[in-house]
Structure 1
Amino acid sequence: MADSADIFAKCRDWTAAREARAARTYPYYRPLTESGGGAEGVVDGRRVVIAASNDYLALASDPRVVEAGGAALRRFGTSCSGSRLLNGTLALHERLEGELAAFLRQPAALVTTTGFQANLALACLLGRGDLLLLDQHSHASLLDAARLGQARHLRFRHNDRADLARLLGASGTGTGSAAGTGAWVRGGRMAVTEGLFSMGGDLADLPGLAATLAEAAPARLVVDGAHDIGLLGEHGRGAAELLGAEGSVDLITGTFSKCFGSVGGFLAGPEEVIDYLRHRGRSVLFSAAAPPAAVGAALAALGIVRAEPERRRRVLALSACLHRLLRELGWDTGSSLMPVVPVHVGDDAACLRLWQGLFDAGVFANAILPPAVPPGRAMIRLSVTAAHTERHLAVIADAFATQARTAVPRARASLPALPR
């Protein structure tokens, strides 16, 4: 028998993190030792502006949310110590599901332990003979759901309804297969996209995608609203509300870890679909329930999202300001004005050097490298929250100005008007 390779060998051979640490450009797992309400914090003993948080509405440190989480903790303890299916469902979970369904104008909702697990639950909808079509920029959790499901899955070009139509047309011929040859059983079809894309900060063309799917009916549209529910639309119901496409979305997934200042996930849609997911979704059945404190905090945050639309207006205004400041310095922040602010760099090493330069200048940002983005598309990802002030934005812009003479490529692009 030939000698077997050591399965751990790949770990020894992968040296990227060690090299970045040695070069003092390692941007990950940096502990925050003190928080200043979301806008500032202490990292490595230095007070910095936090431009890396997805707490868009600044609710994670809101006293009402903190107190609600604490009250649930005192009443129910630290853990449910079991799955939702068995002993882990509290009246608190069901109350959140009811209020969330009403908020999103959906018949039913299901609360999960994380947003990642909410998306993984979709795998149980993907049977043999079904077809899943994913936007190329969809979150990793959606791709993992596709891999866990039994359906054939294809990826359409980002926000490209013509490519979606092409794939739908090809799937209807009865001549395709997972390997590209031979017949395959025609089943149900479903397209999945993010509402507000988590890396690029751009909006999905939900009306266009919905119109394309309507031509191939029955085909379902699922929207991951992780970064837009609570933030966009007159009432905060997300990208679908903003774009007038709520009636075209068949199923919604989301998370409490962005606009709701907590942790956990959810799915919302038709009652029979939610009931099926509740009993067949493996990530739901085999995970301990969301802890009481997180659920209590999310409930309080949902009330604030409904009652205080000025938070949404403030963060969107601040976001447009930061895009303008960075573009005036020549940095390419894409085509969006959203609180997700991508500063496109390209080269991985240049991105890490830029990250370190920003940190040295007092700004803690996110360095985004492959596989989170395609090779050659490294970026600094900034996030704007309602806790930021114009002074914080000026600090961020000044930090980028100090990097203007580096070798990092920069570009200009026109700014679109913010959709209303």
Structure 2
Amino acid sequence: MAGTVQWIAESVQEILQISELTLQTFLVFCVTFLLAYVIFKRSRNLPPYPAGRVPVLGHILALGRAPHVKVTAWRRRYGDVFTIKIGSVDVVVLNGYTAVKDALVDRSDLFASRPPDYLFDAITGSGKDIIGARWGPGFRQRKRFAIATLRNLGMKVGRGSFEEKIQEEATYLRNRVAENNGQPFDIAHDVRVTVANVICSMVFGKRYDYEDETFRELSEAIVTILVEVATGKIINIFPLLRFVPVVNRSRTNALEAFYKVRNVLSEEISRHREHLDRENPRDFLDFCLLELEQQEKVDGLTEENVMYMAQDLFFAGTDTTANTLLWSLLYMTLNPDIQDKVQEELDAVVGESLPTLSHRSQLPYVNACLLEVMRIRTLFPFAGHATTQEVKVQGYDIPEGTAV
């Protein structure tokens, strides 16, 4: 035993002499290594990893071109909760009603943060908005303020609803369709204008003409951002690739489009400040400018926050709704028998007027068709969340800040 100890001591001394390390530096290195080992070992009770993980890339190659299909297949083998490696990052995947309801409904506060997303963070001010913000007092205050403001502006059912504006835009769209006199045409632009104008009415207090150049630039820039963020995920996994030409094209295009959106929103904020009626706020920007002056509900709210929050409303509401409507129209066209049944139910319940939310309970077939479109063509198969603290899910330990 004494001989072994002497051998270890002599070996350590020889290593220190060769590497020119001091004994103090060597001890610091050993302690650091042991602490790291303990910390990482303690947090390894993660859900199981599927097969197919490789160094550096993790499960990227195994996920293929349809990752939502692959994780559905893995669910059958590994259960409702498992972990995939995206590059060097652990991402916990939840499948099934029970696991998802537990996380997003029953314990929503524990899964209410967002994981780092380099490209999306770059266009949301690294969490200065609502959609991409990390969990914390600032996020909660901005979210409560935005929801309360939108309700004041009519985002609700019943008296004072924003329904009339939606019906007004639907009428404009109907008239645009009629102008084609039954001839084939591409309705995509008109649908996007209609949806975006509903958002514009709420945010800016005005609507734009279908051919307005500023509006066209705004709507096209929003679509570009959403497309490039979706296709530029490789930069999120390996951020250093943002310096590599061609590979960083998604980042370049997204930021170029973002600056166009920012310019439009900045001009609108300036215009609203000049004509602000403090007694009668008209739209979302008016309410935000009043809060900037009063600082009553959102601590430290800045004009930059206002710009990013307004941008969120366009991101969340424009392309998502427009794409759902376009898929609905396509499926109606491909299934004329179902289209006829939808029309019959609308004629019987609504008649010559425009439908309202109060008709919804009387239109079960129309509702079923809309829900079926959203089931077939899910806009976001993955809902990206992150844990706000360490949490246990079905016996596994998920560390704070883990992407889910």
Instruction: Give the TM-score of the pair, scaled to structure 1.
Output: 0.25
Structure with bigger strand share is 1
Higher helix share goes to which structure?
A: 2
Larger Rg: 2
